[in-house]
Structure 1
Amino acid sequence: MSDPIRLVVAGGGTAGHISPMLAIADAVRQQDTQANIVALGSPGGLETKLVPEAGYRLALIPKAPMPRSINLDLLKFPFRFLKAINEAKKILRETKAEALLGVGGYVCTPAYLAAKKLGIPTFVHEANSVAGMANKLGAKHAVGVGTTFANTGLPNARQVGMPMRSNVALMDRSTIRDEARAYFGLADQSPVLVVTGGSSGAQSINETIVASLDQLDAAGVHVVHITGRGKQITDAQGNHLEHAGYTQREYVDRMEFAYAAADLMICRSGAGTVCELAVAGTASVLVPLPIGNGEQKLNASELVVAGGALLVSNSDFTPGYVTDTVLNLITDQHKLEQMSQAAASLGQRDAAEQMAAMIIDEVSSRRSASGQKG
């Protein structure tokens, strides 16, 4: 492709949407180094931080979620939604976009409708085992649909895996293990338990871990606790919690170091996390989010069946579970190695490249058909 591709990528809210979106953008830019890529997001989402940090221009449109009850917001919704569609159309026109990629979130529904009205080919990637409403809509008229898991119910979908950025997709856990432990300030070779509830954190997981710190420390386990933004753990005086064998971070940019440093990880089972655990070959205890449509439990199933992870419900993840199950597991090196190998057997590293190829091939084909340079 001679002339740079012009692509708009849409997604936002949480890292679960933004990370695969940026991974696909990176993969497009690897194949077309001059690609003109603009990300579409909404005010207040993590995209306002993560997209500029990744080196991409961010354009914002108003958030227009459908109200779930009859109130004044419901009356205002049609006008807000129409404004969001028009703003998305404006950006698609300004960038002269040749394709739109959507990965889910509030921003995607108006973006999909805007692209359809303008005749711009749409591509969808669905991260979860249960497709969200925006992607169900987008997939109906999409030129290409990629999914992380099989049986999402989206039409004409191709299972490609989870797009992830190269720092995770290409990681070798054993090679970077020492560097990863140094990143967290871990000087000895104690077993390391990494706990994370994702970018937003998980209050119930945080509380259980804090209540279990004495037992974990007594067993010689060092806890790296990634609490989530705004969920810093404090002591009775309101100070940053200090405890022997305990390292606290609100957020970690280098998640490959978290996977590599961990002998065992405790986390939610968001699609991105599950797939990254497999690529990294990190043994895990998965605690699915107890709300929603049950997609996190489904996300975890393949890894659990393979033997790479244990599954425990949010209500059963208690200090007693940590003492009875987690402590026994993290001190059993043979079992951890078996789980690591089982997880790694499911690792799929090229999803971003597959999605990028899908987009570039379609744009090239359309250029050829219209006689454009490409």
Structure 2
Amino acid sequence: MSALTSRPLSVVLAGGGTGGHIEPMLALADALRRSPAAGTGLRITCLGTERGMETRLVPARGYDLRLIPPVPLPRKPTPDLLRVPGRVWRAVAETRALLDELHADVVVGFGGYVALPAYLAARRAGVPVVVHEQNALPGLANRIGARLAARVAVTTPGTPLHRGEHVGMPLRTAISSLDRAAMRAEARVAFGLDADRPTLLVFGGSQGAATLNRAAVGAADALGAAGIQVLHARGPKNTDVVAPGRTAGAAPYVVVDYLERMDLAYAAADLALCRSGAVTVAELSAVGLPGAFVPLPIGNGEQRRNALPVVEAGGGLLVEDAELTPAWIAEHLVPLLTDADALAGYARHAAAAGAPDADERLAGIVLDVAGAGT
């Protein structure tokens, strides 16, 4: 309960827009719901906008979603910032009214369109703020929010954010508690893979990635000749990506549109070829799955920075988008996938770089701040 009244503790989470903001927000919500504080009364409300994925994902996970106007922000300080105050004013006013209605005890922001008005409204309302930054290179909303926050949590050590504490990335328990070895047999059966072959998982996010698709299919003969099977999520719109032909008894090459069960995909795999979004890097590390990371070649370089700590710890490889070719896969991934000892070493180093308890750690910070602010 709130320290001053008998009402439930009210936690407001601001993390709409993309999955990179929404997934850690929901993982934190789940951790709060499991916490002892939930037994004495806890109200969790998520903020989002009508244009974001949160309109589908948040209600599906059983959480209350309240909508506010979005405030698009330039990724870096530019002349467009001069137009931001006008966009922010209405959003801050509506968000402030929501915080008053909800009797908010703490606001937790994850960056993006929703976070900035939430931070500014919380400051006006006298509600303490906690910031969580997913990427190694923070966005503008969290750079501002960090200056207003009681506590600042970051996913990657060394993230240049004011008073940042390394906590890690909050993840779903289906991922953070995954025992890959125990689920391997079930996972490989589920995808139609052989039980004992080295397995490469290829995925480029929910929509796929053309560079990864072309390189993996182009390397299919080299992979198959080495006895390596492939589970390849091509993306639902990439219907031109088809499984190469295989003779009876050859290593399978399985193509799917989308992976509904990432836990099964991770359990089936020995190595992943993937982008290096913050959630992807955190998930692979948490489950101890080595990755060959291919940073998205646009933006401000945060994907490369996301992957570097794991790569430098010996838990993965890094290849630039322009350098990923079938020949690169044949030269670098085929030898690794066919060397069990080397793979095991990469897996150990990947796991050592992970933070599977980040959701619990962030929940503890949030509850500490909420208690101090009531």
TM > 0.5: yes
Choose from 222, 235, 240 the match for 1:234: 240
Q: Secondary structure at the match of 2:17?
A: coil
Tell me how far apart the structure 1 counterparts of residues 344 and 82 of structure 2 sit (CA, whole Å): 57
Q: How does 1:107-256 map to 2 (within 5 A)?
A: 107-228=114-235, 230-234=236-240, 243-244=245-246, 245-256=252-263
Match of 1:28 in 2: 32
Output one character per residue of 1:54-80: Cα deviation in whole Å (capped at 9) or x when no partner: 211222223231479xxxx99976544
Choose from 4, 7, 11 the match for 1:7: 11
Match of 1:341 in 2: 348
1:319 and 2:323 aligned: no
Instruction: Tell me: CA distance 1:231–1:87, structure 2 relative to 1, closer, same or farther (3 Å).
Output: farther
Q: Secondary structure at the match of 1:315?
A: helix
Tell me how far apart the structure 2 counterparts of residues 264 and 130 of structure 1 sit (CA, whole Å): 26
Tell me how far apart the structure 1 counterparts of residues 352 and 158 of structure 2 sit (CA, whole Å): 20
1:17 and 2:24 aligned: no
TM-score of the aligned structures, taking structure 2 as reference length: 0.88
* Structure 1: tracts of 5 or more residues without a match: 368-374
Instruction: Tell me: CA distance 1:4–1:204, structure 2 relative to 1, closer, same or farther (3 Å).
Output: same
The percentage of counterpart residues that share the same residue type is 45
Partner AA of 1:121 in structure 2? P
Tell me how far apart the structure 2 counterparts of residues 246 and 252 of structure 1 sit (CA, whole Å): 15
Following superposition, the deviation at residue 29 of structure 1 comes to 1.0
Match of 2:92 in 1: 85
Following superposition, the deviation at residue 363 of structure 1 comes to 1.9
Tell me how far apart the structure 2 counterparts of residues 188 and 344 of structure 1 sit (CA, whole Å): 23
Q: Secondary structure at the match of 2:323?
A: coil
* Structure 2: tracts of 5 or more residues without a match: 247-251
Following superposition, the deviation at residue 361 of structure 1 comes to 1.8
Following superposition, the deviation at residue 81 of structure 1 comes to 3.0
Output one character per residue of 1:20-57: Cα deviation in whole Å (capped at 9) or x when no partner: 11111111111133521111112332222221222112
Match of 1:370 in 2: none
Instruction: Tell me: CA distance 1:43–1:216, structure 2 relative to 1, closer, same or farther (3 Å).
Output: farther
- Output the aligned Cα RMSD: 2.4
Tell me how far apart the structure 2 counterparts of residues 251 and 3 of structure 1 sit (CA, whole Å): 43
Choose from 292, 299, 319 the match for 1:285: 292
TM-score of the aligned structures, taking structure 1 as reference length: 0.88
Tell me how far apart the structure 1 counterparts of residues 46 and 291 of structure 2 sit (CA, whole Å): 33
Mean CA deviation greater in 56-65 or 262-271: 56-65
